[in-house]
Amino acid sequence: MYSPMAERLLVRALKGGKNTKIVTLNGKKITKMPSTLEKLPGLKTLDLQNNRIPKVCPEISTLTQLTSLNLGNNLLEEVPEEMKYLTSLKKLHLFGNRIHRFASGACDGLQNLILLSLNNNQLTWIPPEVSRLKSLTYLSINHNWLASIPRELCFLKNLSELQLNYNQLICIPEEIKFLKNLQKLFLVRNNIEVLPEGFCDLINLRSLDIAGNVIQIFPSGFQNLKLREFYCEENPLLMKQPVHAVKQEGVWRLQEITSRFIMNQLAEKNLFLMQAFEWYPQVRNIISQGRKCAICGKSFLAVWLECVEFVPPSKNWKISRNLQLVPLRILICSYKCFNQRGPNVFGIAQVESR
């Protein structure tokens, strides 16, 4: 269960009783967490990295003054329920285990947790309860099997660094815009196709790495982010290679015509419509999906023509070496506006190879 060295270190710690603040038992081939830890109520730091521990002992719940716990590189299969009793915990390292789930209630008492590392595990999902980690500033879940991010994660208002490299993410929730204090975001080697419009609201974002995804185009306003570092190599970004295409004027559906009229009247503060609008929640829901034309500024509903605008990256960005132009998604409401576009705006078309 314990090596002779581990036993000697543990005995020495126990002699200190409530005065013992730090216990370090790294790499001691421990197969069971010592239950005698309950005799160390003043413990602040517990380091059990690089052992063979499959689960935590119930007695750990007595360590209410513990601020740092390192169980990295062990054999845990879940984020233990006992964590909820460690109400003073600020740093929790669980990297390099076999974790594939959060035990029920595991997040409940971790109100003071600042750092959580879950790298190199087998997580396929994150529970909505992660939103209870109110103080969290650093979250790293690299090298797992995540297919999605819960919207609740985006309500961690103190989060400043988020690492989700080497997962299986397809998209980022629109709610990411609520992470106003996020400074560093790493999404390397996922399957992300698009970044949401709300991404451009991350006013404090300084480092962004999205290398190795399947992103073709960025949301409008992306160029205004105050980034210092931006890496996007190995994405199939749209290139500025214009071709001639046949223009086909589309016919608007009645819903589109009506929606455009209502949205533009509301923008002009039409009192009659503003009052009537309150009585029709279904209409409100449809109108809430409206977009603004990048040329005339008027609202429309259905994506009539998706365009791309090529802009140079900010001179303040440290960027991927081959990035010369940033493709931005632009939506235009009609051919009339399309014909008034700038020289760097192009319609996006499928080109058939022959």
Tens digit of each residue's pLDDT, the chain (354 residues): 555 555 555 545 455 556 778 899 999 899 999 888 888 889 999 999 999 999 999 999 999 999 999 999 999 999 999 999 999 999 999 999 999 999 999 999 999 999 999 999 999 999 999 999 999 999 999 999 999 999 999 999 999 999 999 999 999 999 999 999 999 999 999 999 999 999 999 999 999 999 999 999 999 899 999 999 999 999 999 887 766 555 556 677 777 777 777 778 878 887 877 777 777 787 778 777 788 888 888 888 876 678 899 999 988 899 877 788 999 998 888 888 888 888 888 887 655 544
Kindly provide the residue ranges of all beta strands, DSSP E only, lying in the chain, ordered along the sequence.
22-24, 45-47, 68-70, 91-93, 115-117, 138-140, 161-163, 184-186, 207-209, 229-231, 291-292, 299-300, 305-311, 318-319, 326-332, 345-347
Place of tokens 């004027």: 249
List C-alpha distances in Å: 145 to 141, 161, 164, 169, 232.
Answer: 9, 20, 10, 8, 21
Task: Name the 3-class secondary structure at 81.
Answer: helix
In whole angstroms, give the CA distance from residue 236 to residue 238. 6
| Res 246: pLDDT | 56
Contact residues for 324 (Cβ-Cβ < 8 A; gap 6+)? 312, 313
Contact 232, 323 (CB under 8 A): yes
DSSP code at position 79: B
Name the DSSP letter for residue 299: E
